[in-house]
Structure 1
Amino acid sequence: MTTILVTGGTGTLGRLVAERLRADGHEVRVLSRHSQPYAVDLREGGGALDAAVAGVDTIVHCASAQKGDEQAAANLIRAARGAGVRHLVYISIVGVDRVPFRYYKSKLAVERLVEESGLGWTVLRATQFHDLLVMVLQGLSKLPVLFLPAGVRDQPVEVAEVADRLVELAAGAPAGRVEDMGGPEVRTFESLARAYLKASGRRRAVVNVPLWGAAYRGFRNDGHLTPRRAVGTGTFEEYLVGRFGGGQVRTGSGRSQA
């Protein structure tokens, strides 16, 4: 079996990837800013990063942040080339080339760095994880009224299924840009929000608000969806049951009812 480095290996996706690779018998190194013995800030690089990639056959790059992704990828690629890494696998997002959203632009730039790295490479684009969608809805539902971007749909996918696919790709030969991976259903954002409210026991008025800008138009035009690659099987409702159970509704007495 091979030695595989998982960046962002303590995150939602990276943790599952690392667990599955170990279960398959690979030697796995987990790299994150605080995970010993490979505690590395990829945006800074340096000797600790060189040590982390020394002797590694394959890197699965799951680490991501709102800022500094391009510098982090450049540092990782530089270290990987120096160590003779055979295969770099990168997880990206469906629509990074179609929706001019700032974070998406950064992910697309990292894709190009990977493609031009001189390393054997594989890039998988996936739709949004169920976990991320719930995190967004939790934030939006802090107000008495849940405001949603009008006319937007989503296609959330189960993160464990994406982890399984990354493990499969990491164990194989470099494959370039592979087919996108989307969740099983394309849903209106409102239907997903109402499912979340029901499962979490929150009562909120839901209001769809038209927005503006090129990124919003990209989302309204379904640039972030891949309905022809709806290969995921886990639905949003199934995720919600696992996360919240049957859902609880608060009553005036402060008690909850199913």
Structure 2
Amino acid sequence: MTTILVTGATGTLGRQVAERLRTGGADVRALSRRSPSYAVDLRDSKGLDAAVDGADAIVHCATSPRGGDDRAAGHLIDAAKRAGVPHLVHVSIVGVDRVPLGYYTVKHRVERMIEDSGIGATIQRTTQFHDLVLSIVSGAARLPELPVPAGVSVQPVDSGEVADRLAALALGAPAGRVPDLGGPEVREVSDLAGVYLRATGRRRRVVPVRLAGKAYAGYRSGGHLSPEHAVGTVTFEEFLARRHRRAG
């Protein structure tokens, strides 16, 4: 039986990756700070060697917008090398090399660390998840008017489709940087905010706001998009409808 370690296994993506691998017959080790079986904080790595030992592959989904992803990846790489793990699958973000955002800069650094590690690696970049778009517009909808970044489009992808791809990659051979995985549509954030308001029956005026800075310019130029790899199938409307059915 193939043994696969999934980091960030209690998160939105990692949980689904672990489920798919188990369904496929793999022995899955679910690692996160809150995991009942492998409770490890990658930033200090205590207990990491035991989690990695004997693994045939690692799917690295753990991440934190608050920082420390490069430190965590360094600990994971070192542990994987000590254990002789032959395959490390890493999920990254489209545009980490084009949009000058601090979080993206660190994610790009992690990519290079993995590529230079000497471990057989597969790196999968994806566009933003539907979950992230929902979090942004639902949070903004708490205000009397719903502000959105003017002129910014996104290409949201379903996290379940990303989980399908990562599980398949983990069961295969190291493939290096593989083609991006993008959502089915490129749409302005203001448009998706309207979709959310109609789906939830809320009334707000959507207000596009021009922002300053290089990161905003990078988003406006589409550095985070991959329209040539629009292989996802689940639209934002379908994602919201599915969540509504589950809530009901």
Which moves more between the two structures, 87-96 or 194-203? 194-203
| Residue 51 (structure 1) aligned with residue 65 (structure 2) | no
Query: CA–CA distance in 1 between the matches of 2:105 and 2:42?
Result: 19
Query: CA–CA distance in 2 between the matches of 1:104 and 1:141?
Result: 26
Give a deviation string over 1:137-191, Cα, whole Å, max 9, x none: 1111110011111000010001110000001100110000000000000001111
1:225 alignment partner, SS class: coil
- Superposition map of 1:1-258 within 5 A: 1-46=1-46, 48-66=47-65, 67-244=67-244
Query: CA–CA distance in 1 between the matches of 2:2 and 2:86?
Result: 11
Q: Which residue identity is paired with 1:26?
A: A
Matched-pair identity in %: 62
Which moves more between the two structures, 82-91 or 132-141? 132-141
Query: CA–CA distance in 1 between the matches of 2:168 and 2:34?
Result: 27
Note the C-alpha offset of 1:37.
2.1
Could you tell me whether the CA contact under 8 Å between 1:91 and 1:124 is conserved in 2? yes
Query: CA–CA distance in 2 between the matches of 1:56 and 1:222?
Result: 38
Query: CA–CA distance in 2 between the matches of 1:83 and 1:136?
Result: 40
Note the C-alpha offset of 1:36.
2.2
Query: CA–CA distance in 2 between the matches of 1:15 and 1:171?
Result: 17
Give a deviation string over 1:95-143, Cα, whole Å, max 9, x none: 0000001111111011111101110000000001111110111111110
Query: CA–CA distance in 1 between the matches of 2:205 and 2:213?
Result: 25
Query: CA–CA distance in 2 between the matches of 1:129 and 1:34?
Result: 23
Unaligned runs of 5+ in 1: 246-258
Q: Which residue identity is paired with 1:134?
A: L
Q: Which residue of the partner structure matches residue 255 of structure 1?
A: none
Give a deviation string over 1:14-67, Cα, whole Å, max 9, x none: 000000000000000000001122100000013x10000010010000000021
Could you tell me whether the CA contact under 8 Å between 1:200 and 1:244 is conserved in 2? no
How many pairs are equivalent? Answer: 244
Give a deviation string over 1:193-220, Cα, whole Å, max 9, x none: 1001111221111111111110000000
Unaligned runs of 5+ in 2: none
Could you tell me whether the CA contact under 8 Å between 2:10 and 2:34 is conserved in 1? no
Query: CA–CA distance in 1 between the matches of 2:62 and 2:149?
Result: 28
TM-score (norm 2): 0.97
TM-score (norm 1): 0.93
The alignment yields a C-alpha RMSD, in angstroms, of: 0.8
Query: CA–CA distance in 2 between the matches of 1:101 and 1:141?
Result: 24
Note the C-alpha offset of 1:93.
0.4
